[in-house]
């Protein structure tokens, strides 16, 4: 693909293998942690059948994307082997691949991403933005999968040790530009890319608040923005609440993100956040939105096999 073609990718379209996801409407990505140690729901969906049931519940509540992860990325999290990660996620993907859903694999390992794509995943959500595994960029390019390039300062084990920026928005924008260039060099089309500023990943509470307030500045990159504020620690610090009491704070963050132009919000509490996103989008558009059921209809179409 020539640079001129890459630069003119439609920012309201996301190419995810054989699907083209219409991001003219805000979509909700439901979080499905198939782990024993994630920060707010570790162990709840560790059993594959429980995980599948939870995915289908989130779909019924309005999620059009399910983000399946087999390794925790909370602060101080220990890494797991690719084999362990695959044992957790593959049975879930296989059981969901015929559902009317877009499936995302939350991993930084190319071997896990490749196997998940072969099993039916459409998106790779990489918290290292192609920086953690030298084979990841080629894996995404060869498969045509959608890719979320997330910003993280440091690693999950070190990211909250005195995170420092000159200007957090400027610095993250430069990071995105660098990783986008890396993606292009590997043969990843711009239409495959979504950016995530990484709320809670190597940021203080103040950094996270600034990112939400200034999120619209990332629109100059010309690609959709995903935001994942769900139950994050900055909400607890601002409101003085434990993780199980952060629903309203998450709602405020989701509303701020949508009003600032976010195309996708990644959340645990799908039903409530879908409603928040729908109303926030109506305010953003300043026209009534009449739609029953899903927060954003499954506005994707086949682009060929």
Clarify whether 232 is annotated catalytic: yes
Distance CA 229, CA 152 (A): 14
Strand partners, 83: none
The β-bridge relationship of strands 13-16 and 123-126 is unpaired
- Catalytic annotation, pick one of 203, 231, 266, 278: 266
Per-position DSSP letters for the chain, written without gaps between them: --HHHHHT--TTEEEETTEEEETTS-EEEEEEE-SS--TTTTTTT-SHHHHHHHHHHHHHHT-SEEEEESS--STTPPP--HHHHHHHHHHHHHHHTTSSSEEEEE-S-HHHHHHHHHHT--EEEETTTT-S-TTHHHHHHHHT-EEEEE--SS-TTTTTSS---SSHHHHHHHHHHHHHHHHHHHT--GGGEEEE--TTSS--HHHHHHHHHTGGGGGGG-S-BEE--TT-HHHHHHHT--GGG-HHHHHHHHHHHHHTT-SEEEES-HHHHHHHHHHHHHHHHTS-----SSSS---EEE---
CA dihedral (277, 245, 215, 224) positive or negative: negative
CB contact at 8 A, 21 and 27? yes
**Between β-strands 146-150 and 193-196, what pairing exists: parallel, antiparallel or unpaired?**
parallel
Contact 164, 206 (CB under 8 A): no
* Residue in 232, 246, 278, 294 annotated catalytic: 232
Question: Any catalytic annotation for residue 237?
Answer: no
Q: Which residues are catalytic?
A: 232, 266
């Amino acid at each position: 693909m020539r640079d001129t073609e890459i630069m003119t990718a439609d920012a309201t379209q996301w190419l995810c293998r054989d699907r083209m996801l219409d991001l003219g409407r805000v979509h909700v990505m439901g979080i499905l942690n198939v782990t024993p140690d994630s920060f707010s729901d570790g162990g709840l969906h560790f059993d594959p059948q429980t995980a599948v049931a939870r995915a289908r519940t989130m779909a019924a509540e309005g999620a059009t994307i399910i983000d399946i992860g087999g390794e925790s990325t909370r602060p101080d999290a220990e890494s797991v082997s690719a084999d362990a990660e695959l044992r957790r996620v593959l049975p879930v993907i296989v059981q969901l691949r015929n559902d009317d859903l877009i499936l995302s694999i939350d991993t930084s390992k190319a071997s896990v991403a490749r196997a998940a794509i072969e099993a039916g995943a459409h998106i790779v959500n990489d918290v290292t933005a192609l920086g953690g595994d030298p084979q990841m960029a080629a894996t995404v390019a060869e498969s045509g999968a959608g890719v979320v390039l997330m910003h993280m300062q440091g690693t999950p084990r070190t990211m909250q040790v005195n995170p420092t920026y000159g200007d957090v928005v400027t610095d993250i924008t430069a990071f995105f530009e660098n990783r986008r260039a890396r993606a292009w060099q590997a043969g990843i089309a711009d239409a495959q890319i979504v950016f995530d500023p990484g709320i809670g990943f190597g940021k203080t509470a103040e950094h996270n608040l600034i990112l939400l307030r200034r999120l619209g500045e990332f629109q100059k990159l010309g690609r959709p923005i995903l935001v994942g504020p769900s139950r994050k620690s900055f909400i607890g610090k601002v409101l003085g609440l434990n993780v199980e009491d952060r629903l309203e704070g998450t709602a405020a963050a989701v509303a701020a993100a949508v009003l600032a132009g976010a195309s996708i919000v990644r959340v645990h509490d799908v039903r409530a956040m879908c409603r928040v996103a729908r109303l926030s989008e109506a305010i953003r558009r300043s026209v009534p939105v009449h739609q029953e059921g899903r927060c954003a209809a499954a506005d994707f179409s086949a682009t060929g096999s």
